Every structure is written in structure tokens, then in C-alpha cells.
A and B are shown apart, each in its own frame.
Chain A
Amino acid sequence: MERHTSADPACARFAPLIHERVDGALGAGPQPDLDAHLASCAACRELLADLDAIRWTASEIPDFTPRPEVWASLSQRLASDLAARPRHFWSGTRVALAMAATLVVAVTASVWLLRSPAQAPVPQASAGSQEGAAAGVIQSNDDVVKDVDEHLRIADEHYVKAIAGLEQVVKSGEGSLDPALAATLQKNLGVIDQAITESREAIKTQPNSQLAQTSLFEALRQKVALLEDTVALINVMRKGDQAGAAKILGGLSKS
């Protein structure tokens, strides 16, 4: 006969055991007593069912979405880490990666922010509303993404043109450099070229990878900087300006 109510002292004694049972943490000792009580108490059976439902439904509470800046920052830290451990990533390009890790080009940082609209850390919506929201975001950012791609293409062209011009200048003045120094510069340029090639390959397979884009533009920037320094070095060497040459070489060794 079911004679208990939720205020019954017997029920109050069994309540913690019911919670433990819901958690799968009830020992074998109190199990028979609880079973017997449940068999005769509708209120406690209801409590058990409710707690089960709460526990089950709680597991479906959705996650929060971190702000896009978190990945932007993480990708920079990751790049630094990768540079410090080149055997794992792009082995053979450690110099270029180390350089790539030290600075992140503003254009790619802004690309990330443009690609990923700012979001507060709010719970993810249910499947239906999420699809709707996602569709809205994609549509409203479509033009922005196109703009970004166009800017990336223009920036890439700019770098390639600048590099071609500088390479020509360097080639014509290479004779002014000490052969050992010229060989070192050439070797460094080769390492950067390798990084550029691998970055382009990475972008081909992962077109939206901010890390690959960052690495490409940083490698391009480094190449421009190295060529500019080389041109400046050629100029001061031609003038016999040893102090100027030492200054440029000092700057090169720090980069």
C-alpha cells in the first residue's frame, strides 16, 4: 500500500540515497532497503524519475562558443611553438618559421577578424536556429570574405612584384658583396623561398587557414626585408662605407 508523502521522515531519509542512485554511486548495502521503499512510495518513485530526467536533460545543455580572437591569439602562440619545435612542422624551414613566428602581419590579423564576426561567449543555439543564424552570418559576410580574398590577392601580387624588382637589383650588384656573405644571403633567401612554397601548398589544401596565410605573408615580408637589406648592403659596399655595412649586417643577424 502506498502511504508515504514527500514530507514523510522515512522519505527524507531515502532522498540522499535516491540522488546517489541517479549518479550510479549507491553502494550495495542500502540498495535492498531503498528498493523496498520505492516499491511502496509513489512520491519517492516520482523523485527518482524527476532526478533521472534532470540528470539526462542536463547532459544536453549546449556549450559556449569562444570569441574568434581566442583562435587568432592561439594561432600566433602555436606558430611560436611550432618555430621552436621545427621537427614537427615544416622541417627544414626552421629559420623562416622562426622569423614568421616573431611577427604577425597586420593584414592577416585583420583578415581573421573580418572572416570571423565578433561573438560574445553565448550558448550555441539549437540545431534549427543555429542553421538559420549561420545562414544569416554567411550571407551578411559574403561580401566581406570576397573583399578579404581580393585584398590578399593584391597583397600577394604586391609582394611578388617587389621581390622581383629587388632580386633584379641584387643580381646586378652581387659582385660587390663578399662571396661568403653573398652565399649566406643566398642560402637564407632559399630557406625563405622554401617557406613561401610550403605556405602556398598549405593554402592550396586549406584555403581558409589563417595560420598558413599568416606564415605566407610573413615569409614574403621577410624576403622583401632581406632583399632590401641586401640592396642597402650592396650600395654601402660600393661606396666603401664599412661602418654602414657593419650596421646593416648587425641588423641582419638580429632578424
Chain B
Amino acid sequence: MAVTPSERTEANRLDRDIVQRCRRGEMGAFEELYKRFGSRLYTVAYRITGSAADAEDLVQDIFLQVYRRLDSYRGEAALGTWLHRLAVNACLDFVRSKQGRRQRVTETAEDLDALPAPAAGPWRADAALDRMDLERAVAQLPPSYRRAFMLHDVEGLEHHEIGEALGIAEGTSKSLLFKARARLRVVLRGRPGER
């Protein structure tokens, strides 16, 4: 649903208020900040790292960073946008530091073997796409496809960032995304002809 100008103004006012109170040192302000953005940032961390345990550690590190760097927030971007960017950077730093110890994600033969069967109830040409159907279809994607799709189309990361997160080339990220979308379309439409 689109955000109306009055909703945006109210959100900006809330952002300014919570930031000011955090800077003043009000104890409840950080708790409020966490309640408002904790799930969002945890989800970003989970989708980038692919690990709930790492995401839990990271979301704590991110909020501590927020506390330490709140003075640098100028209000030029929405608070949520600023926090999201900070979280993405923290997660990419984390992934980079782990890169050497972890197997890189590649498009493997196993991925291709794991291509899902078409969904039982196809997405009709004249109907809107149901979110739950999409989620179910995403869950059926091979892991490398799924992560590329989630990071790009859901989290809004650029291909070079996905490349860093997954340890793959930018071009490979693009290729995985295109294949993921094409596969989703096949699953949702319930018919062959992947493109």
C-alpha cells in the first residue's frame, strides 16, 4: 500500500522524536527503537547470512552501532532507510570476514536437479499474484536462487552487494536472479517454458 504524504510526515516526526530521545538518553527510547525496527534489521541479517544464530548476534551489534553512531544521523534519509543501510553494511562486513572459512555459494548441478514441480493451483493470467503463493514458490527454489531473489527483490540489495554476500561474481548474481524469477513464474503459472 502506498504511503500518503501525511503518513510520511507522521513517520518523519516519529523518527525525529525517537532519535532526539535516544540522544538525550531516555532509557525507553532504545527499547522503542528496537520494537520498531528490530524485526526489520533481524530479517536483513538473516537473509544475508542465512543463519538465525548469526542474525541474532548481528542485530545486537547493529543496534549497539546505532547507539554509538546516532549523532551521525542527520535526518536526510528516513530513519528506517538509514538503519537498513547500516545493517546491510554490517552484515556484508560480517560475511566478508567469514568468507575465507565458508564454502562459496555457486550454481551447482544439485541446484538444477532440485527444480520444483509446478504449484497445484496455478496463478491465473487475469488474477493478482497472492503473496502466500509467492512465498510458497520461493521456498521451493534451490538455495542459491532463493538467496539471490530474496536479497535483490525483497531486501533491495544491488548485484555487487549480493556478490559480496554470497561470494560470487556480480554477473552470477544477476544470472541467479533471472533464473529464480523465471522458475517462480513456471511454478506459479504451473506450466513449462522457463525464460
Contacts and interface: CB of A to CB of B under 8 A. Distances in A.
Nearest to A6: B193
A55 interface: yes
Given A54-B185, A77-B64, A64 B42 contact: yes
Contacts of B27: 89-90, 202, 206, 209, 211-212, 215
B125 A70 contact: no
B154 to A, nearest CB: 5
B56 A211 contact: no
A47 B68 CA distance: 47
A121 interface: yes
A131 interface: no
A209 B31 contact: yes
Nearest to B152: A23
Interface residues of B, number: 46
B160 interface: no
Interface stretch (A10-18, A218-226, A233-241): A10-18
Contacts of A47: 185, 195
Contacts of B150: 61
A53 B129 contact: yes
Given A19-B178, A53-B129, A74-B34, A12 B60 contact: no
Interface in B103-158: 125, 128-131, 134-135, 138, 149-150, 152-154
Interface string A77-90: 11001100000111
Contacts of A202: 26-28
A2 B43 CA distance: 44
A58 B154 contact: yes
A128 B139 CA distance: 23
A212 B195 contact: no
Interface residues of A, number: 51
A46 interface: yes
Contact of A70 (B38, B68, B185, B193): B38
Interface in A180-200: none
A95 to B, nearest CB: 16
A54 B63 contact: no
Interface in A1-43: 6-7, 11-12, 15-16, 19, 23
Given A46-B125, A54-B134, A74 B60 contact: yes
A205 B31 CA distance: 13
- The interface centre, meaning the residue of B149, B152, B182 with most chain A CB atoms within 10 A of its CB, is B182
B154 A74 contact: no
Given A66-B39, A88-B23, A16 B131 contact: no
B181 A66 contact: no
A53 B131 CA distance: 10
B25 A90 contact: yes
A172 interface: no
Nearest to A7: B193
A73 interface: yes
Contact of A75 (B23, B31, B40, B128): B31
B195 A11 contact: yes
Nearest to B177: A19
Contacts of A67: 56
A19 to B, nearest CB: 5
Interface in B9-63: 23, 25-28, 30-31, 34, 38-40, 42-43, 46, 52, 55-56, 59-60, 63
Given A19-B181, A54-B153, 10 more contacts: A16-B178, A54-B129, A54-B185, A61-B135, A61-B154, A63-B43, A65-B39, A77-B60, A90-B27, A202-B26
16 contacts: A12-B195, A53-B128, A54-B181, A58-B154, A61-B135, A61-B138, A66-B56, A70-B42, A74-B34, A74-B60, A74-B63, A78-B63, A82-B25, A90-B27, A206-B28, A206-B31
